[in-house]
Amino acid sequence: KKTKDQLIIDAGQKHFGATMCKSCGMIYTASNPEDEMQHVQHHHRFLEGIKYVGWKKERVVAEFWDGKIVLVLPHDPSFAIKKVEDVQELVDNELGFQQVVPKCPNKIKTFLFISDEKRVVGCLIAEPIKQAFRVLSEPAGPGSPTSTECSRAWQCSDVPEPAVCGISRIWVFRLKRRKRIARRLVDTLRNCFMFGCFLSTDEIAFSDPTPDGKLFATKYCNT
Ligand code: ACO
Ligand code: ZN
């Protein structure tokens, strides 16, 4: 099986099979003109969208050796809002989300992770909520079929529990995943969402998570 995978990757480099662009992260078939055209379009739009020039009064809420986190609030200058909208469009596009109209647009907090290369490589959008429905953990007994586990719909409790903060989007640039960027975004959110207190993991909720989102959320909330 491993040899087969290797063959596909090799073929990709010779422009036959699926290949991943090393700058925009898109996976496409280089031998397919239509695919290649889509890539060129995506490539420019995407790199333009995540380009971060910065602004004078940016609100840096965390700094790291490989980047920083900037918080954008609804009444910030229009160029800051524009950047957030551009990034959100790319994220929604990737997630296949429909445009969701927030209930309280003036209470939205957007956290952007800015890399040292001056790119927005992570984004977290949060809003205040009053309640959430807990995802019921699956009874993974010794005999349970693990292969179907991922495809099974997660069941939610029908008893609402009080919550404080809802994460409506969390996204990390494909080429920057598994570097704890999402974790650092959520840590920063917990620290900054309500003045003077650090939210517990029980007080935050992920809305409508994707498979990636569930894997991350499960891991994050248990450590
Ligand atoms: N598979 C398994 N475990 C994972 C995954 C994954 N795909 N992603 C994260 N984890 C777990 C790991 O245990 C990881 O720690 P480790 O790398 O030391 O093992 C831990 O979570 C922390 O992961 P981070 O590195 O902080 O996560 P990352 O920066 O890669 O971002 C994210 C995770 C945001 C889910 C990213 O994969 C992504 O952007 N995916 C596509 C967009 C998406 O689906 N977003 C969630 C939508 S749901 C919503 O917005 C409410
Ligand atoms: Zn590209």
- The mean pLDDT value of the chain amounts to 86
Q: Is the pTM of this model over 0.95?
A: no
Q: Using an 8 Å Cβ cutoff, are 216 and 187 in contact? A: no
Neighbours of 84 (CB within 10 A): 22
Tens of pLDDT, residue by residue over 77-100, are 999 999 999 999 999 999 888 777
Q: pLDDT at position 11, please?
A: 47
CA of 122 to the centre of ligand 1 (A): 11
Burial of 75 (0-12, 13-18, 19+ CB in 10 A): exposed
Partners of residue 128 on adjacent β-strands: 165
List C-alpha distances in Å: 200 to 110, 149, 191, 193, 204: 19, 28, 10, 11, 7
Residue 153, pLDDT > 70, answer no
Return the best residue to mutate from 187, 212, 214, 218 for the ligand 1 pocket (most ligand atoms within 8 A of CB): 212
Ligand 1 proximity of 125 Cβ (cutoff 6 Å): no
- Give the integer Cα–Cα distance in Å for 209 and 188: 20
Ligand 1 proximity of 82 Cβ (cutoff 6 Å): no
Amino acid letter, 79: F
Q: pLDDT at position 12, please?
A: 45
Q: pLDDT at position 16, please?
A: 63
Q: Is this complex scored with an ipTM above 0.95?
A: yes
What is the number of the ligand 1 atom nearest to the C-alpha of 185? 26
Picking from 201, 189, 216, 166, the residue whose alpha carbon sits closest to that of residue 70 is 189
Confidence of residue 192 (pLDDT cuts 50, 70, 90): very high
Q: Using an 8 Å Cβ cutoff, are 173 and 21 in contact? A: no
